[in-house]
Amino acid sequence: MNALSIAGLRKTYGSVAAVDGIDLEIPKGCVFGLLGPNGAGKSTTFKCVLGLIRASAGRVLFAGAPLEPGAFERIAYVPERSVLYDWMSVREHIAYMQSNFSGFDPARARELLAQLGVGDERKKVRALSKGMRTATAVALAFARRIDLLLLDEPTSGLDPVNQRTVLNLIINEAAQGTTVVFSSHQIGQVERAAERIAVMQRGRIILEGVVDDLKAGRKIVEGILPSDDFSINGLASDARIARLERNGRILRAYVTEQPDAIAERMSALGAQGLRVVDLSLEDIFLDAVAPKAATASIVEGV
């Protein structure tokens, strides 16, 4: 049974669909990265999933059951904008968490706050920098005993050292079986911490999969044809090729799976100088949201 199961989730504001029919199955213990340009609907999705805003349609199940008030005891959510109270001190937040969540460990919270550099817990939240507010919200969430962690931009405003600390906290939770869903614009972080990703654009999921499988399948296969007018009939209809670019004798295939087989096929057609170009997750992301902007980065001879 999956930790989180989302089917047909929609949220419309008038005629605008902020979330436009999302289906996601997230297995237990998975770290799931949600990517997408600003306004793609990531934050709205988090809020709909948690019932913080009412979805227009769809079904969300947590470990097979619909959301009920008791479920929040085992779910932590760190929203994009801090929900800390400006007029309360860090220490008062610790006390507040302790009285609201039975699985909250104040000693662990203090340890995490120290690790993230939030030294003085007598400080009011209003005196904290944006980064320190994020760090405080993250530390309070990770100090709870939970099954599911939803983090909306958990590293925004953090310095690189704290970003790495938060990534390792996510990895540590996942190694203990906690399911983590997090959104980020920092693709390098998603590339490290997430096992699976979904890319959202205009309220829809336009790409989903296991990061390593996406990288193994999605490559640019480039070959040099014998002449400018050389026929490559048949290649364009290969379902494993998303699109073909041809510039004189140079042929580039944007492959979604089995790049080696495509390289062999192009070789059999007479193409020479074949290269399989690896794509980073950033390349794959950019190619999904804006196909023209994709650029190849690391080149490997084949």
* Beta carbon nearer to another protein, 51 or 217: 217
List 141, 211, 286, 294, residue binding another protein (CB under 8 A): 211
In angstroms, what is the minimal distance from the CB of 65 to another protein? 24
List 3, 193, 255, 294, residue binding another protein (CB under 8 A): 193
Q: How deeply is 253 buried, as exposed, middle or buried, from its count of CB atoms within 10 A (0-12, 13-18, 19+)?
A: buried
Q: Directed axis angle between helix 90-100 and helix 130-142, to 10°?
A: 30
List 283, 285, 286, 294, residue binding another protein (CB under 8 A): 283
List 110, 215, 240, 249, residue binding another protein (CB under 8 A): 215
In angstroms, what is the minimal distance from the CB of 246 to another protein? 18
* Beta carbon nearer to another protein, 30 or 199: 30
List 83, 95, 114, 216, residue binding another protein (CB under 8 A): 216
Which helix (H) or strand (E) segment holds residue 23: the answer is strand 16-26
Nearest to 206 by CA among 285, 266, 283: 285
Which residues ranging from 143 to 172 are in contact with another protein (CB under 8 A)?
A: 164, 167-168, 171-172
Instruction: Check: CB of residue 30 under 8 Å from CB of residue 210.
Output: no
Q: Is residue 286 a contact residue for another protein (CB under 8 A)?
A: no
Nearest to 185 by CA among 20, 34, 2, 292: 34
28/194 Cα distance (integer angstroms): 13
Q: Is residue 282 a contact residue for another protein (CB under 8 A)?
A: yes
For residue 272, give both structure tokens.
């020479």
CA 94 to chain centre: 29
Binding window for another protein (CB under 8 A); candidates: 29-37, 57-65, 107-115, 125-133: 29-37
Q: Is residue 261 a contact residue for another protein (CB under 8 A)?
A: no
Going by C-beta distance under 8 Å and a sequence separation of 6 or more, which residues neighbour residue 264? none
The total of other beta-carbon atoms located within 10 Å of residue 278's CB is 16
Binding window for another protein (CB under 8 A); candidates: 82-90, 114-122, 199-207, 216-224: 216-224
Alpha helices in the chain (DSSP H): 42-49, 90-100, 106-115, 130-142, 160-175, 187-193, 211-217, 259-269, 281-289
Binding window for another protein (CB under 8 A); candidates: 3-11, 76-84, 125-133, 281-289: 281-289
Q: Is residue 25 a contact residue for another protein (CB under 8 A)?
A: no
- List residues binding another protein (CB under 8 A): 29-31, 164, 167-168, 171-172, 174-175, 188, 191-195, 211-213, 215-216, 219, 223, 263, 267, 272-275, 277-283, 297-298, 300-302
